[in-house]
Each structure stands twice: as structure tokens, then as C-alpha cells.
A and B are shown apart, each in its own frame.
Chain A
Amino acid sequence: MSTYDPTSMEGVPVQARERIEQMRRGLFTSDLSVNEFLLVRHAGFDPLGLVVGSSIYHIGIQIAGWKQSQEMGVLSQAMYGARELAMTRMEEEADQLGADGIVGVRLDIGRYEWGENLAEFIAIGTAVKHREGVLHRAPNGRPFTSDLSGQDFWTLLNTGYRPVGMVMGSCVYHVAHQGMLQAMKQAGRNVEMPNFTQALYEARELAMERMQKEAEDLQAQGIVGVQLQEKSHGWGSHIIEFFAVGTAVIPSEGGHAIPPPSPVLSLNDR
């Protein structure tokens, strides 16, 4: 699978095909809460079904120089490629249902004992379709994706924006070990550690820059709800993945602003 093909059912197991066939006949499944369901409906969308994309990926090996702060290109590529595969499969499932987009997308990584260098990348969300058939797809023809909850989705649409896609950037970075000489110079003193600061800074910048680039490619106007995660997926303490993910938004036609909010003093206990 090298390109996005809306009709592709490649890699989708028989059971999943049956499930999709069932959902096409009108029954929907979703992981929306009741509130989310009502708000998505109120925003003019009907849920079509839960869509999933998954990819079990073998992550290669890369050796970093002991004293060198550097990006681990192979690992970055793996983390990126696998998420991309999972997302694409989820989008294709949604396309099968004739969806306009997917809300409440979660991106998870699972690791299993039976595979040391394996990781499962899972994308899961609820496919939705606009009731009046107003097109809400991303400019590249794919269904839009967003990790926004149903509530956030409603608010965003009412603010005059709509989601176009989840954007992400990943960077796996090796932080250099500190030399003996450097450690001696710092011994017992309160000083900033420029080497480490620089390494972490650069890694975060790379992740954020890639996310920004994705949003530009989607012709988005902005990104909301960015989360920056730092995780070391069992690579040892010096190798860290920085992962930035957010939802790219563009103004919708005939944009409108929310009515002036009035402050509310809630009498509910927390």
C-alpha cells in the first residue's frame, strides 16, 4: 500500500468487511458518550460507525554515537510510518462507510511481550457524515480526522472553524552522554547544562516543525489542542521520542462567531 485508495479493502479481515457491510445498512456503532452523541447530532452529523486502523510494525535498530546528540532517523521513520499506516487504514474504513470524517480519534501504541522490537499502532475513532450532505472532507479528498471530543467538535463548528485533519510530528532523539571533562567542570556547581538543553530543544523543535509542515500541506489555517508527549519506548534512558499531535482547522464557509458567553456560577459541587 503506497497511496491512499478510498476503495481499498486491502488488509481488512473478513470479519471487518462483514462489520462494515452491516454498518452500511444503517446500524451504527460508536464510542461516543451520550453527551457527545447528542452534540454531534446537533452539529448536523450522523455517526456511521466505529472505525479502526491498526498496524503491527517492526522497529529497526539504530546505533547512536555515545557522545553524539542526534536524531535516530530509522526510529523516527518507523514511529511515523506505522502511525501513518494505521491512520490511513482507519480513513479507508471510514471511506467505505461514505463518511465525511472521523471524530474522537485516539492514537495508541501497544507493546507486547511476544515481540521485543514490535509495536502495535492503533487508530480508532467514530466516522460521521453530514446529514445535508455538505462536504466536509479535507482538501486532499480524504475524510477529515480529529482527536476532538464531540463537545469540542460542536464548539469548533459553532466558532466558524472546522477540522481538516489530525497533524502529527515525531522525532526520536538520542541525547549524548556527557564527557568526563564536562562532568568534572560541573561537579558541585549550579550551572545550566547546555548540551542537554540543546538536545531536548532540538528534538522538540523537530517534532513541532514536522507537525507544522503537515498542517501547511493540508492548507490549514491553524492547529488547536496540540499535545507534546515524551516517551522512551523501551530504548533506554538516552533515546526519547517526542511526539506532537493536534487538530488542524480551517475557517468554514460563512464563518460565524460564538454568541457572547455569559459567566455562570455553577451551584453543583465539584
Chain B
Amino acid sequence: MPFIHRRGPDGTQQDPAAAAADLQAALAALERGGIPPKAEQRLAELRQGDQMLFTSDLSVNEFALIARTGLQPVSQVMGSSVYHVGWQGMPGSFFGMGRGASELGVLSQAWNSARSLALSRLQQEARLAGADAVVGVHIKWGAHDFAPNSVEMVAMGTAVRTARAERTDPPVLTDLSGQDLWKLLQAGYRPVGVVGATTIFYVVPQWSTQRLTTSWLSGRSNQELPDFTQAVYSAREVAFGHLSAQAQTLGAHGIVGVSIDQSIGRREVDTGNDTKRIDLIVTLHVLGTAIVEVPDPESIQRLEGRLGRDLDVHTTLDLRGAL
């Protein structure tokens, strides 16, 4: 094996007792909502390395701009949570009772808990890395085949620090890219944290809608399906309600860079006597960054050295295509 400069798994067997102890320690840490000791170890190594090595998932352009804001990348950080989704009763399953839109509370809550656990672990990693902030936080979610009835949320980002001696505690998270963060700081704002929410709505159609969506006579008329519209609206309102509430707790003036991921699924329900009903499941994931206006541009200028409130915008018509 040509492991001259690359190190692979060394193939040595770990002592089983020590491995079991490690596993128990890791599980105990996760139960507390913490991060496994192995991760702490990696970050500690990173801090103690004689030459300050950083890892980052910053693109080169982001890296170039981050350096200009006076921020220094420290380490790529991550937080993850696999969450078991509890039993959720579907509305309308009992003789079509409960028509209209309602939130599937158990599902929403599972996603939201998984997200906050993942983000809190990301934040803990950043704190251990000695960072002031995490930029470019993005969340991947999905389900694994090996774990039925469960969801996984993985939050990743790059921890950065300022030149100051004292650290911001806890580190500030933002889903903005290095480019966006630079522009925002230039304009006199700063991020205070990441806000996110998931809502899942279930719609059992009213009789009129059910007739329109399933009967063979339905093809004739142009008509809005008010209860479906209503459900999409409600899901959005609830999700943004959560966002606003979270932003207010952070003392933010506004939210920028919101990404919305909306998907609508159909569920056919057999209602007996060869009839069926089409129900709708509306899923909405939102994530954004809460920001505050920096009250005194002087102070931030002292802080970072290079920031101003004036933002010169040049307009160009780019004839070259994306370089």
C-alpha cells in the first residue's frame, strides 16, 4: 500500500473494552445534546497544532472575501441528529372527519427538534474551535434506508474568528455565504443567528373540492380549490411565524437570505364503495439569517478595521458570460 504521504486507516485493532467505553461516552454525550468526544478531540488537535491549520468548505471566492472582512477561517464544523418520528394520526381517517387543513404536529416537531439539535451541536463545535461565528451554514436533510421512521438533519459550515482576544459566546451562526456576509457588513449590518422552521400541513378536502379532484365530471370548470390554497397559505404563515418568533428572541431587526423549500405530496385515501379522496401534504422548510443594524458604525470600524456604511454599487452589463 502506498501510504507514503497519505495516511489511511491503520488497520490496528482497538482494544474492545476501550472501544465500548468510547461508545458509551459518545452515546452519553449525545443524550445530553452534546457532541461525541471524538469530535471534541479533533477540534482540540486543530487548536493545539503548532502551525495553525484551518479546514473550511469555503469556496476560493468566499475565502478571498472573508479575509477582507478581517475574519479568519478556523475549521469546518458540523452537527447532526438522527431523529425518530413518532406516531402521527392522519386527520380525516375516521369517516372523513376533520375536513380542512391542519398541522401534523408530531412530524413538524420531529423535524424542528432534529434541526435545533444539529444546529446546537454545530454551535458547540464552533465554540470548541474557538470561533466567533460560523458562516455558510447549510442544512442537508433526508432519511436513511437503514433507519425507518426517522429523519436526519446535518448542519455544516465554516467557523471563523476575528482578530480580537475575547470570543463571542455562543458563536453567531449565519447561512450567508462569504460574499453575502461581506456585503452585509459593508452596509452596516451584522448577523445575530440562524433561524429555521419546518411545518407540515395535511389537507382533507371539503366535499366540493373532493368532487372536483376525484369525480369524472370534474374536468369542466375553471375553479380555485380554496381549501388547498388555504393550506399552503397556513403552512407558510406558521413557518414564518416561527421564524419571526426566533428572530425576536435574538433581538434581530430583520431576516435575510431565507431559503424556502416547499414540496406538496398527494395521498390517495380509499373511502370505500369504490370511491376515493385525494389529500394533500404540504411540507415547508425555511432557513434564514437574523440580522441587526449596527448602531454605531465607528465601533464596528474599530472592530474590523475596514467596514463602512456606504455601499457603492456599480452597474455593469456583463458581456463575457460567467467567468
Contacts and interface: CB of A to CB of B under 8 A. Distances in A.
A31 to B, nearest CB: 17
A76 B9 contact: yes
A80 interface: yes
A170 B85 CA distance: 30
A186 B59 contact: no
A86 B312 CA distance: 48
B55 A196 contact: no
B80 A225 contact: no
Interface footprint category on B: 35 or more
A266 B55 contact: no
Given A192-B84, A222-B56, A2 B2 contact: yes
Contact of B53 (A77, A222, A225): A222
A190 B106 contact: yes
Contacts of B76: 208, 223, 226
Interface in B226-268: none
Nearest to A76: B9
Given A2-B2, A4-B4, A205 B54 contact: no
Interface stretch (B143-151, B162-170, B281-289): B143-151
Most buried by A among B6, B64, B85: B6
A155 interface: yes
Contacts of B54: 221-223
Interface in A62-83: 69, 71, 73, 76-77, 80-81
B269 interface: no
A29 interface: no
Contacts of B311: 263
Contacts of B42: 205, 208-209, 212
Contact of A194 (B30, B55, B306): B30
Contacts of B57: 225-228, 246
Interface stretch (B109-117, B190-198, B205-213, B271-279): B109-117
Interface string B44-73: 011001011111111111011101100001
A220 interface: yes
Interface stretch (A10-18, A124-132, A254-262): A254-262
Interface footprint category on A: 35 or more
Interface in B26-53: 26-27, 30-31, 35-36, 38-39, 42, 45-46, 49, 51-53
A77 B7 CA distance: 10
B250 to A, nearest CB: 24
Contacts of B141: none
B147 A196 contact: yes
Contact of A152 (B5, B38, B61, B87): B61
A72 to B, nearest CB: 9
Contacts of B5: 140, 214, 217-218
A260 B55 contact: no
Contact of B7 (A71, A88, A213, A257): A213
Given A152-B59, A261-B65, 8 more contacts: A159-B64, A194-B30, A205-B42, A212-B42, A212-B55, A237-B145, A266-B315, A267-B317
17 contacts: A35-B323, A39-B323, A76-B9, A189-B87, A190-B106, A191-B84, A193-B82, A194-B27, A198-B36, A201-B26, A202-B26, A202-B36, A221-B53, A223-B76, A246-B55, A258-B68, A264-B313
Interface of A: 1-4, 35, 39, 69, 71, 73, 76-77, 80-81, 84-85, 88, 140, 148, 151-153, 155-156, 158-159, 161, 168, 170-171, 175, 177-178, 186-198, 200-202, 204-206, 208-228, 237-238, 246, 257-258, 260-268
